[in-house]
């Protein structure tokens, strides 16, 4: 897993510092509304409403750099690798030990959407992959103390899925739907989802 983390960062840095390919560099941050859908053979529960945050950087790599640079409206297609730290979670979720708990997860997430951009607007769709760097649980019964999540036994670290995003001026709206099953056990299934609002600040255009 450490190798995956280092590889992800290396790929992003390569895009970031490649003058031949990167046409725009943004920093971004904002809030998330997140949840975890938990499904067993007996029932399906959908706990949402958890508020988190995210911070990160994005690099736009145009498919036709020369045309993009010459176009006054900055219109074109390309990739927008986005690396960010994202806080996700769920309230009153029973995915761990079948006991209701508030779950907080901190992910290093890489989104790789295909983007169409023109003037002050972007729209994109593409996959993402995320690795949980941290996690905590707080049971609703018992002493109610916050405890670290035992990744590998209680929850999986790796998440992946599909994201769609729309940016207008400095504001980006994004929805990520997790496809990875984070739950442990044959009778458990848990998927993340997240709706986020970001403020994007261009550093290089």
Region 21-31: what's the mean pLDDT? 82
> In whole angstroms, what is the distance from residue 127 CA to residue 129 CA?
7
Q: Does domain 2-204 have CATH number 2.40.160.20?
A: yes
Domain ranges of the chain: 2-204
Per-residue pLDDT, 44 = 65
The model scores a pTM over 0.95:
no
pLDDT top residue among 154 and 180: 180
What SS3 state is found at 176? strand
Cα atoms in the Cβ-side hemisphere of radius 13 Å centred on 102: 10
Average pLDDT, the chain: 81
Region 178-202: what's the mean pLDDT? 87
Cα atoms in the Cβ-side hemisphere of radius 13 Å centred on 183: 20
pLDDT at residue 112 above 90?
Answer: yes
What SS3 state is found at 18? coil
């Amino acid at each position: 897993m450490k190798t995956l983390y280092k590889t992800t960062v290396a790929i992003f840095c390569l895009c970031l510092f490649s003058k031949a390919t990167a046409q725009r560099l943004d920093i971004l941050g904002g809030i998330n509304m997140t949840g975890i859908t938990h499904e067993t053979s007996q029932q399906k529960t959908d706990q949402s409403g958890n508020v988190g945050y995210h911070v990160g950087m994005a690099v736009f790599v145009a498919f036709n750099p020369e045309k993009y640079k010459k176009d006054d409206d900055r219109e074109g297609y390309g990739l927008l690798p986005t690396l960010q730290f994202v806080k996700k979670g769920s309230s009153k979720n029973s995915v761990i030990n079948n006991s209701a708990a508030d779950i907080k997860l901190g992910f290093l997430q890489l989104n790789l959407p295909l983007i169409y951009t023109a003037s002050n607007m972007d729209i994109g769709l593409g996959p993402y992959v995320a690795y949980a760097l941290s996690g905590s649980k707080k049971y609703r019964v018992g002493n109610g103390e916050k405890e670290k999540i035992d990744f590998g036994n209680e929850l999986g670290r790796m998440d992946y899925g599909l994201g769609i995003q729309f940016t207008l001026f400095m504001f980006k709206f994004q929805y990520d739907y997790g496809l990875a099953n984070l739950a442990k056990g044959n009778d458990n299934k848990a998927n993340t989802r997240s709706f986020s609002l970001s403020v994007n600040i261009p550093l290089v255009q």
